Structure 1
Amino acid sequence: MDLLLRGEMATLTAVEAVGASTRLPGDAGLAGLYLNELVVRLTGRQDPYPRLFDAYARTLARLAAGESLAWSLRRFERDLLEAIGYGLQLQHEADSGEPLEAEACYRYLVEEGAVRCAASSPHALRGSDLLALGQDRMPDNSGLKSLRDMMREVIRFHLGGGELRAWRVLAMAVSGRPRTPD
């Protein structure tokens, strides 16, 4: 890809395809739009992030192959945060440094990490779900929902308290359908 830069305006002068275009029908297409908005909103303009774009390509392939949308998105969010320098602490408790316990419950504090809490606490996450995300193992549907909620809080923090338009679009798209984890 070649760009000609003049101030804030860039002109694309050449581009080479690296493969066939990826088709993302239905909900996978909406997930693809979400990925795009995440990248645009959380990365700097013209900053190279080779690991991020490798993760992006892997996620598009997963979506095109019909893999779990929710799990594909959580993996990408995790990888994106890592690539831009905001990696999640998914192995140790933030306050004690002790390894996370699968049977324990935690609250994830964005600037600190996982802190043990009561299972009845708002935003409580199972340790097994945090460990699964860190070890790239898909949790059950309940875990995927908890991880989605945690990731939204983390992303919202890094957006300076803002929201993604894709969250509203996805909410409207699924409002008339049975709920599936996204």
Structure 2
Amino acid sequence: MPVVAAPTDTPSARPRRPRVLEKDHRVGNQPGFVLHSYPYKETSLIVDVFTRDHGRIALVAKGAKRPHSKLRGVLQTFQPLSVSWSGKSEVRTLTGAEWVGGLPPLEKAALLCGFYLNELLVKLLARDDPHPALFDHYIAALNQLGHDEPAPIVLRKFERSLMKETGVAGDLTMCTGTGQRVQAERLYVVDPERGPRPANPSDAAPRVSGQTLLDMEREDYSDSTTLTQSKFLMRYLLAWHLGGVPLNTRQILIDLTQL
């Protein structure tokens, strides 16, 4: 009787897996905000969107510049949206966007502060890196600005939240190296990579009181000294983490409102 050879594990013998097409990668009804957009080809836009569960992503909005496009009036900054897209490449395709509402509009100085928040997110957040807690902080900040809460306090809280969520900010209440708790009456500098340490006369970094650091950690900016010192400290730390890349809206805020 002839011997029948067992089937070999060749590519032709193995069952083929169905190809996963890029269009099959779909996300629907994701909460998001437009951070920035710019023209793409003649009638489209590339939209930088901050989403709750997928982080910052780039979407091409095809035909969004056409006069009768449904997307034309929807893709506005500071408006809560429900966003859908398809694709898995660096730039996905926007398939739908609907206005959700629920936030007051930003006007005058509050509007400029909103653009400052957006610029921070664009320059400090990596693409496709989800930060749902930061997304909630962003909504809270927009809501506070829309209700005319003190802008300097709103900005300091958001800056601190952004640095914490992206892993570049540590505990301001503990000294680096020694592990000792910050003392309210002493002066300190904050190393951008290591955290607080006692100040020296030769330090170029902003010197702040221990009380300021303690207040910042518990988000208490009611003291005028804390508010002033935290402004210069956060400006210094953000500049370091941005690698010297300027923040355009920050400079405008400095010039116009000294925030």
Residue number among 163, 166, 169 corresponding to 2:246 in the alignment:
163
After superposition, give the CA deviation of every residue in 1:84-116 in whole Å (9 maximum; x if it has no partner): 111232110112111111111101110111111
Are 1:80 and 2:162 an aligned pair? yes
- Which shows bigger deviation, 141-150 or 18-27? 18-27
Residue 29 of structure 1: how far off its partner (Å): 0.9
Residue 142 of structure 1: how far off its partner (Å): 2.8
Superposition TM-score, scaled by structure 2 size: 0.63
After superposition, give the CA deviation of every residue in 1:12-59 in whole Å (9 maximum; x if it has no partner): 212344433431111111110000000111001232110111000011
Distance in 2 between the 1:140 and 1:61 partners?
23
Distance in 1 between the 2:176 and 2:100 partners?
41
Superposition TM-score, scaled by structure 1 size: 0.87
Unmatched tracts of structure 1, length 5 or more = none
1:3 aligned counterpart, secondary structure: strand
The structure where strand makes up a greater share of residues is: 2
Indicate conservation of the 8 Å contact 2:188/2:197, yes or no.
Answer: yes
The residue type equivalent to 1:130 in the other structure is L
1:15 aligned counterpart, secondary structure: strand
Residue number among 102, 127, 141 corresponding to 1:59 in the alignment:
141
Q: How does 1:142-157 map to 2 (within 5 A)?
A: 142-157=225-240
Q: How does 1:81-96 map to 2 (within 5 A)?
A: 81-96=163-178
Indicate conservation of the 8 Å contact 1:78/1:88, yes or no.
Answer: no
Partner residue in 2 for 1:134: 217
Distance in 1 between the 2:122 and 2:173 partners?
29
Partner residue in 2 for 1:12: 94
- Which shows bigger deviation, 55-64 or 6-15? 6-15
**Greater CA radius of gyration, 1 or 2?**
2
Unmatched tracts of structure 2, length 5 or more = 1-82
Residue number among 38, 47, 51 corresponding to 2:120 in the alignment:
38
Partner residue in 1 for 2:109: 27
Partner residue in 2 for 1:101: 183
1:121–1:8: structure 2 CA closer, same or farther, 3 Å change rule? closer
- Give the root-mean-square deviation of aligned CA atoms: 2.0
Residue number among 144, 149, 152 corresponding to 1:70 in the alignment:
152
After superposition, give the CA deviation of every residue in 1:112-132 in whole Å (9 maximum; x if it has no partner): 111112589651101111111
The structure where helix makes up a greater share of residues is: 1
1:11 aligned counterpart, secondary structure: strand
1:10–1:102: structure 2 CA closer, same or farther, 3 Å change rule? same
Of structures 1 and 2, the one scoring higher in RCO (CA 8 A, sep 6+) is 1
Distance in 1 between the 2:203 and 2:224 partners?
19
The residue type equivalent to 1:53 in the other structure is F
Partner residue in 2 for 1:125: 208
Distance in 2 between the 1:171 and 1:44 partners?
26
Distance in 2 between the 1:48 and 1:2 partners?
16
